[in-house]
Structure 1
């Protein structure tokens, strides 16, 4: 099982999952689609269920719905006050 990375961004998420090609395979999309997600810093929510499930099956720790929600809210500057500090302490 891989160690739990501190995932703070979609870029970190891609790294934890093994890169763009690995994310494309996990999601069942083309490499260009995964590349565009990485470039935009956003994974559409319709992929979240499959992503969390596939990460769990691959024993990749730290890929949860909470993490996905956090990285997307953070990228848009939409985190409520105290959330970053609370997450950093956990």
Structure 2
């Protein structure tokens, strides 16, 4: 299973405003999830269902359970 990032998920919906609109939420909901570092489990079904309806691959309960909120730090390259 490939772990997705929160930002990848939001981009796949067309950005935070479009994702919020698709899910029937206020525009500030998605940035608030990012700030809090979690997607409320009560929203998981709506996200999975909307992703399926829109043909967005890789969005599942398992993917949401393992989502990363920050990109992994860049590895330093030895000179």
- SS, match of residue 55 in structure 2: coil
Q: Matches of 1:41 and 1:56 in 2, distance apart? A: 24
- Give the match for residue 12 of structure 1: 8
- SS, match of residue 29 in structure 1: coil
Deviation at residue 39 of structure 1 after TM alignment: 2.7
- Give the match for residue 62 of structure 2: 66
Q: Is the 8 A contact 2:3 2:66 kept in 1?
A: no
List runs of 5+ in structure 2 lacking aligned partners: 70-79
Normalized against structure 2, the TM-score is what? 0.73
List runs of 5+ in structure 1 lacking aligned partners: 1-5, 76-90
Normalized against structure 1, the TM-score is what? 0.65
Deviation at residue 7 of structure 1 after TM alignment: 5.1
Q: Is the 8 A contact 1:48 1:65 kept in 2?
A: yes
- Judged with a 3 Å threshold, the aligned counterparts in structure 2 of structure 1 residues 27 and 7 are, in CA distance, closer, same or farther, namely farther
Q: Larger relative contact order (C-alpha < 8 A, sep ≥ 6)? A: 2
Larger radius of gyration: 2
More helix by share: 1
